[in-house]
Structures are given as C-alpha cells and as structure tokens.
Chains A and B, each alone.
Chain A
Amino acid sequence: MIEVELLVRLKIPDVTALTAANSLRRRMGYAGTLQRLRRADYYRLGLNAATTEAALALAKTLAEDTNLFVNPNKHAYEVRLPDQAAEASAEAAHEVEVLVTDPNDGSAQGALSALQGRLGFGDRVASLTKGVLWLMDLRAPDHAAAKQLAEQIAVTRRIDQGLLMNPHFQQCVVR
C-alpha cells in the first residue's frame, strides 16, 4: 500500500485561517513571528497501486472525479507523498506544518465506504484519514525553534496559550 496526501484549499481567501491569524497576531502576541498562516483540508489515502506514480494518478482521479473531496468551483488541490518537502517558504521564515486530527471523527469512514462501494474503487482505496493541515511561516532562529513555536501556537493549554487544537479530543503532529 502506498500512502498519498491530498490537500484541498479554498481558491478564495480562507476566512478561518484569516481569523486564526488575526487572533494569534492581535490577541496572542505572535505579530512579530507569524508571517503567514494557511489552512487546508487534509486527507491521507492508503492506495493499492503498483508504483508511486500510479498511486499519485489514482489520488488525482479521486480528487477530480468523485465529488467527495474537491469542488472545482471553490477548491484547488494538491496531491503529494507524505515525505515530500513543503513548498518554498517566505524569505527569512521557516515553514512548519501542523496536522490536526480527531481520532473519533468518523466522517472519513463514511467517505471510504462510498469510495470502496458505490463509487467502485473497491480495494484500490484501502484507508482514509482526514484532518486539518495548518501551514505556518514563522520567524525563528532555525527550523527546530520554529517547530517549537508552532506547537506552542497550536496546542490550547490555557486561555492565553494555543489556539488551533484542543488536546482533550484532538491530536497534532508538527513537522
């Protein structure tokens, strides 16, 4: 099985990301460090394909032909391999990705059932998980420091600390 990531973004400005960035900068003191904040719906597909290229092609088909993930009127999408480098970051900033997932979110299971069943992909699609991917451009001395900062921004521990996930029901991976 080959795992492929599908990232789905709004073509128009994402008000959720803008609101989060506004809170982080104006209310939580990250004006000097958070240069840019973007967000994408994140899907991790486990695909049975002979090669990486075939898996990426299948992921594109799933994105474009199923209407489950992408509405072309409002979404742009990207498929990539999990270890693929993030896109180029802004000058003097480190790009960090924070993936937030809810282990009890069963909606991906419904989409997987549809793919395997009525949409006819059968066992070519073996698994599906979903989450929200936050992409931050952070000013920090190095990437390790940027990751630490991203974790601090993400995990809500106190009224004045963290915003993007609540650790009592969500998980996050910083990379």
Chain B
Amino acid sequence: MSEDRPRVALIQFPGSNCEWETQRAAEAAGLSCDVFRWNRDPDLLAEYDGYIVGGGFSYQDRVRSGVIATKEPIVRRMFDEVAGRGKPVLGICNGAQVLVEAGLIPGIRPGTVEMALAPNRHDPAHRIAGFCCRWVRLKVAAPPRRCVFTTEFAEGEVFPIPIAHGEGRFTTSDPDVAAQLVENRQVVLQYCDEAGETGDDPSVNPNGALLNAAGICSPDGNVMGMMPHPERASFLRQVPFEIGGPWSDRRLAAQGDGEALLGEGPGRAIFRGLLNALVPA
C-alpha cells in the first residue's frame, strides 16, 4: 500500500466482524486502511485522516447496540477529531449505531443523543419481526456534495446494497430533530423501490425507519451513519443475480471473467467519496 494514500483507521471493537472486508473495500477504493484495535492508545488516532466504524456486534450488543462502545476512550478521542477538527467518519451498521449513541449522528448538537437505531418494525400481520438480511435499494436523496460519502453519486441515483440488522430503524422522539433532518437534508440515503419511490411498505422500507432513512449525515456532511453494508457490495462478484436491474445485468455479463468480477460494485462509490474528501483537489 502506497504511503502517500490517505490513511483511515477502521476501529475494531470486541465483537466487530466486518473489519477485514471493510478494509479490503476501502483499499480497493484507493485508501490506506489500518484496523485499529479499541484498546490501543487513543491519541494515535490523531495520525489518521479519517475513520470507519464497521459492522458487527460490538460488546455483543450488550445493553443496547453500540452503546457500550461509545463509553470507551477511543470513541471519545474519535469524537474530538471528528466534531472538533472536521475529520470524516463513516459508520456502517453497528458503526452507525455507535455514531448515533455517541451523538455524532445526526449531530445537530454534537454529543447529544438525538436519535436511536431502534429494533426493526414489528409487524405480525406481515410476519415481520427481528433481524432482516437481504438486498434492498437505496436512493441518493440529497445533492451529492451534501455529504462526503455521496460525492460519487448523482442525486436521485438508485443502487442495490445488502442490509443485515435487527436494530436499524432510525427514529427520534424529538419532532424538532425530525424537522431539522428534512430542512438540513441530512437524510442522504433512503430506502426505495426500483423506480426510486419511497414508501412505508415493508418491501421498500424494511425496518420502518423514519423518513425511509438508511443513511444520515451530520450537518457539516463529514459524518455519515448508514445501516446497509457498502463493503458487501464493493466488488461486482458480490452482487447477486436475482435482484434485477443494471447491476445484476453487469454481474451476469461478468460470469466466467475473473477480472471483471473483481471490478467495482455499487457500494464502492461510498469509499471513493471518502477518498475524494481526503485527496487535495
């Protein structure tokens, strides 16, 4: 890995389980990515240009997803680098839960817990409850430059991506926060159907999230928490045939071509957005 590439630290907690594939996805996008254990000297985080908090079950989801991790010195240190110095951080799935419980997402008043990633909707009529693991579609719901991580997309672009979570329902009890999310256009990724239409049907909004939110950024756009897994859609070979649409067609066309299968998947652009933010124009 070239030393002149931007360096990001991928925080590893006890119970993280996506660190190696996330590291591979970040490196495929052109970043230098170190897996950084939670019990290392937190001050070493200052050496990094940005951060990723990946998926898994930090501290076995004890008490509530992500909350134990937020009390660790490493998260406090990362908070200072992100909220104080404007460094970018991407939280994926459990990482998003950590950022929400740390008050970085939505971050209207940084440090204040303004939202929750609550258990997925419970809908006995449709036999929907608990952990949800499948491919969904997302729409880029804000101008690309609203957030560091969406600069490689077009506004309104729809792309497929997998989800795998039991507690992924963005919600808030504070109506002012909900209003500001809309006003500030902080909901940058929304669950949608193939045509980009949002709605509350479980086939479209799998967990019942407020505003169909799949990814929310901070007011400054340098922090994003997203429940879907872009690292599991970083290579074309990761895209399943059966989801349909242009990405599925590309995957089918690449069948038997090893090099093409290692090409870019729909989630890669999230990491390239991070690279763009860290490479001087």
Contact = CB atoms under 8 A, between A and B. Distances in A.
Interface in B59-80: 59-60, 62-64, 67-68, 70-73, 75-76, 79
A33 interface: no
A19 interface: yes
B59 A156 contact: no
A41 interface: no
B67 to A, nearest CB: 6
A102 B70 contact: no
A16 B62 contact: yes
B238 interface: no
B28 interface: no
Interface in B168-185: 169, 171-174
A27 B71 CA distance: 6
Interface centre among A106, A159, A164, A167 (most CB of B within 10 A): A159
Interface residues of B, number: 35
A159 B119 contact: no
B101 interface: yes
Interface string A10-23: 00000110011001
A118 interface: no
Interface residues of A, number: 28
A54 B59 CA distance: 42
Contact of A15 (B60, B102, B113, B124): B60
B174 A168 contact: yes
Contacts of B196: none
Contacts of B76: 159-160
16 contacts: A27-B72, A27-B73, A104-B122, A105-B122, A107-B122, A156-B101, A158-B112, A159-B70, A159-B101, A162-B113, A163-B68, A168-B116, A168-B118, A168-B174, A169-B118, A169-B173
Interface of A: 15-16, 19-20, 23, 27-28, 102, 104-107, 109-110, 156-160, 162-170
Q: Which 5 A-B pairs have the closest CB atoms?
A: A106-B122, A169-B118, A168-B116, A27-B71, A166-B116
Interface of B: 59-60, 62-64, 67-68, 70-73, 75-76, 79, 101-103, 111-116, 118-119, 121-124, 129, 169, 171-174
